[in-house]
Structure 1
Amino acid sequence: MNYIAELRALVGTRPLILPGTSVLIADERGRLLLVFREESQDWGLPGGFLDPGESYEDAGRREVREEIGLVVRDLELLGVYSGPEYFYRYPHGDEVHNVTAAFAATVENTDVTVDGTEITGYEFFDLDRLPDDIIAPERPIVEDYVKRFGG
């Protein structure tokens, strides 16, 4: 059982404050990689919650490797995101107040391999043609990225 599952066994679906990371990866054409999350049925960024004792950077690298099979070389902090707009209620009822460190990353290559469990698809999107159904707590992160790197 993982850390969050252990917490959920104790508190049920009640709101938790959870530290996590989002990683923004662009291809050689500057298109942003978004992944399709099976659980919420919408687009999001690679990333996830920290394990006990793990740094934000290590969590970002681990999550990218686990979810989409890419190896992260460098991470540049885009920002830390928290507050009421980062609250999320999962379709199954779990509630979370996200505290997310978002990183722009360089990767060894962009040959994505989805895990097929959490992530069931991916696409590189032009920054001016992003999908409307980006998961709500990650939309402000994507918007900041577009402002900074959108040219």
Structure 2
Amino acid sequence: MTVTPSPDTPPSTTMTDEEYGALRAAAALWVGTSVLITDERGRILVQHVDYRTTCLLPGGGVDENEPPAQGAGREVREELGVTTTVDRGLAVDWVSADSLDAPASMRFPGEILHVYDGGTWDNEQIAAIRLPDREITSIEFVEPARLPDLMAPGDARRALSALRARINAAGPSLLENGLPIAPTVLDRAGALRTARARHHLPFYIGPAPEQLSVVQVWGWLLGPDGRVLVLLEPDTGAALLPGGAPELPDRGEPLATLRREVREEAAAEFGASLLLGHLCDPDKPYARLRYAAPLTRLGPPSVDPATGRTHIRVLATPEQASELFDWGLPAADQLAAVHQARARLGIPRAARQPLTELPDATDLTTS
């Protein structure tokens, strides 16, 4: 009879193939898939099902001898009635046997769950969804911060970790019970666990009309590689662009407001700026200005006098930055203006890449 050395026992010990197979089968885990799908506002598709009180991402168990990616595509087709290619992984989660409140009769052995990127669906793709007669009762697109209220704790952790991995663009994240074993800056800050800043206001190129009061000035501050400075709140993970509200010492000068706020919030300096445009609410006589400028220097992290907090400073592509906000469809117009200004400033377009934390003082004019 053939004998096979066991990788888990001393070299002098041998087992029969049958014994070795039985040992490995005893340590088997379930294998499952889920698919993260967002709409054009960055909201996540969740399914309401008839067999549990919490929501789920599309997905399910992998069939015998079925590759996980193929199983993910099959589940989307069965549950949403849409045929799509699922070929990009976002996370692989090791789910321990004791992490779920599973009944003893289920004999849950633990699970390896693959999370795939289902992409961003437009209105036409969403309209094509056809739910099956059973199991899936409805779907909705929800803010990432709502996931812990709608999903089981482990499912919510996994979905948020996968979304952060998608934004961070560093490749699939390895998880244990929904949490990454090598957290990124987005994970450490807890990005997306609180509601994203929401401004569904139209964006207009050029100066604001004189009759509008300027209530906010924000800057798209571009590093030498084309990425922009984004600030993360250390206690909530909320994202913001550098800038803020005018104060009396600014004497009504928007750029004075921006320079002061950038120094206070980010300990940063910037060069010659370009006015991108403004946002305004049709029902209120206010304007919110947007500028673009080259980021020239970062000092040591400092406490923002307005909040008493020290922001986490990161570089992200403009597209990655916009995913951390809920700006609606007008975000596309603002991004287009950012890239036009970037080109005028002679700054290259940044390739999508992992976000970079900037904890130290840096002179970016020599980078």
Normalising by structure 2, report the TM-score: 0.34
Q: Secondary structure, in 3 states, of the residue corresponding to 1:132?
A: helix
Question: How far has the Cα of 1:83 moved from its partner?
Answer: 3.4
Distance 1:62-1:147 versus aligned 2 partners, 3 A rule:
same
Cα-to-partner distance string for 1:117-143 (whole Å, 9 max, x where unaligned): 221111001223335130344222112
More strand by share: 1
Please list the CA deviations of residues 41-95 of structure 1 after superposition, one character each: whole Å capped at 9, or x if unmatched. Answer: 211110011111111110000001101112223432111101327843558x534
Percent identity, aligned pairs only, is: 28
Q: Are the equivalent residues in 2 in contact too, given 1:33–1:123 (CA < 8 A)?
A: yes
Secondary structure of 2:100 counterpart = strand
Mapped pair 1:116 → 2:133: yes
- Relative to structure 1, the CA distance from residue 63 to residue 25 in structure 2 (aligned partners, 3 Å threshold; closer, same or farther) is same
Structure 1 equivalent of residue 159 of structure 2: 142
User: Which residue, out of 36, 57, 75, partners 2:69?
Assistant: 57
- Aligned CA-pair RMSD: 2.6
**Corresponding residue SS for 1:21:** strand
- C-alpha separation between the residues in 2 aligned to 1:137 and 1:71? 28
In the alignment, the residues of structure 2 paired with residue 120 and residue 86 of structure 1 have an alpha-carbon distance, to the nearest angstrom, of 29
- Determine helix, strand or coil for the equivalent of 2:145: coil
Q: What one-letter code is carried by the residue in structure 2 that aligns with 1:94?
A: M
Q: Which amino acid aligns with 1:110?
A: I
2:59 maps to 1:40? no
Give 2:145's aligned residue: 128
Match of 2:172 in 1: none
Instruction: Say if 1:33 and 1:65 are closer, same or farther in 2 by CA, change over 3 A.
Output: same
Q: In the aligned structure 1, how far is the partner of 2:95 from the partner of 2:54?
A: 21
State how far apart, in whole Å, the 2-side matches of 1:61 and 1:126 are.
Answer: 24
Q: How does 1:69-84 map to 2 (within 5 A)?
A: 69-84=81-96
TM-score, L = length of structure 1: 0.75
Aligned with residue 24 of structure 1, among 16, 30, 36: 36
Q: Contact conserved, 2:86 with 2:116, CA < 8 A, in 1?
A: no
Q: 1:90 to 1:113 in 2, by over 3 A?
A: farther
The structure showing larger relative contact order (alpha-carbon pairs under 8 Å, at least 6 residues apart) is: 1
Aligned residues: 136
Counterparts in 2 of 1:131 and 1:123: CA distance versus 1, 3 Å: farther
Distance 1:129 1:88, change over 3 A: closer
- For the 8 Å contact 1:88–1:98, the answer to whether it is kept is no
Q: Which residue of 2 aligns with 1:4?
A: none
Q: Which runs of 5+ in 2 are unaligned?
A: 1-27, 168-322, 325-367
Contact 2:93 2:112 survives alignment (8 Å) = yes
Q: Are positions 1:99 and 2:116 aligned together?
A: no
- Give the counterpart letter for 1:79 in structure 2: A
Q: Secondary structure at the match of 1:25?
A: strand
**Greater shift after overlay, 27-36 or 99-108?**
99-108
Distance 1:36 1:47 in 2: 13
- Distance (Å, rounded) in 2 between the aligned partners of 1:47 and 1:74: 12
Q: In structure 2, what is the Cα distance between the partners aligned to 1:78 and 1:23? A: 9
The structure with the largest alpha-carbon Rg is 2
